[in-house]
Amino acid sequence: MTNAMDAASLNAFMMAEFPQVARDFRVERVAPMEADVRMLIGENHLRPGGTVSGPSMFTLGDLAMYAVLLGMIGPVALAVTTNANIDFLRKPEAGRDLIGAARLLKLGKTLAVGDVLIRNEGSDDVLARASMTYAIPPRR
C-alpha cells in the first residue's frame, strides 16, 4: 500500500480546511497505515494543576486518526468520526509536546478502524490509548 498524502500535504490540507485547530498540531510522519502527529502544547491545552487536559488529548487522538486515514485515501474533508473511546493511563508531563502515534487496523470502503497511542515527546510511556472508527463518504 502506498500513501495518498505525505506529511507536508496533510499539514497544508489541515491549515486550509481546519485553521481553527491546525496551528496546534503538526503531522510529522506518514507511512502506510501509520501517522505520527505532534500536539504543540500551549496554555490553552492545560487544566488546573498545569497538566494537559483530557479534551486536548482526545483532540490529538481524533486528529491523528484523521491524519492516518487521509494519508491513505487522500484529501476527503468529510470523513467523520463515528465512534471514539479513550483510556487515560498516566498524567502527561508538564511543558512537553504530546505525540499521537496512529495506525489503521482496518481500512474499508466505508469505514476505517484504528488506534492511537499518546505519549509525551521523547518518552515510551503511553499516556492514553484511543480507539477510533471513521466513516468514509462515497467518492465519485
**For residues 21-45, average pLDDT:** 95
The domain limits of the chain are 7-135
Percent of the chain with pLDDT over 90: 88
Angstrom CA distances, 123 to 26, 120, 128, stand at 18, 5, 13
- The whole-number pLDDT of residue 58 equals 97
Percent of the chain with pLDDT over 70: 99
**For residues 89-115, average pLDDT:** 95
pLDDT digits (tens, 9 = 90+) for 119-128: 999 999 999 9
User: 7-135 in CATH: which number?
Assistant: 3.10.129.10
